[in-house]
Amino acid sequence: QVQLVESGGGLVHPGGSLTLSCSASGGILGVYAMGWYRQAPEKERELVATFTRGGSTDYADPVKGRFTISRDDTTWTVYLQMNSLKPEDTAVYYCNGVPAIWTWGQGTQVTVSS
């Protein structure tokens, strides 16, 4: 069973930066595309960043140019570097495969507020 553990969230001022980490058990990273998702209050969960099996990346329009997804296959960790954060980035952030085929982790809360 794959387990996903997200960390690195917190409270940050607008314009600030955070780096999220996702530890994925089971040695899966090299086999599947991985993504970061987020869910804001009263909104559907959305995919914001993808790291494909081939090593390319893709981003949702609201985060393009500000977020960077990366993957370390030696430590089975996926990262999300978030810069120029905005209040609308406030959400619980999760990682999963793309498509999301595993049980969701607990997520990590990101709050952008002055």
Nearest to 81 by CA among 24, 3, 12, 29: 12
pLDDT band with cut points at 50, 70 and 90 for residue 73: confident
Per-residue pLDDT, averaged over 53-64, amounts to 95
Q: Tell me what the mean pLDDT of segment 47-58 comes to.
A: 94
How high is the mean pLDDT of the chain?
A: 94
| Residues in Cβ contact with 105 at an 8 Å cutoff, skipping those fewer than 6 apart | 3, 4, 5, 6, 22, 94, 95, 96
Which amino acid, one-letter code, is at 70?
S
Please give the Cα distance from 64 to 35 (Å, whole number).
Answer: 14
Whether the per-residue pLDDT at 106 is higher than 80: the answer is: yes
Q: How confident is the model over 53-79, as a mean pLDDT?
A: 94
Burial class from Cβ neighbours inside 10 Å (0-12, 13-18, 19+) for residue 54 reads exposed
Does the pLDDT of residue 11 top 70, yes or no? Answer: yes
Q: Is the pLDDT at 35 greater than 90, yes or no?
A: yes
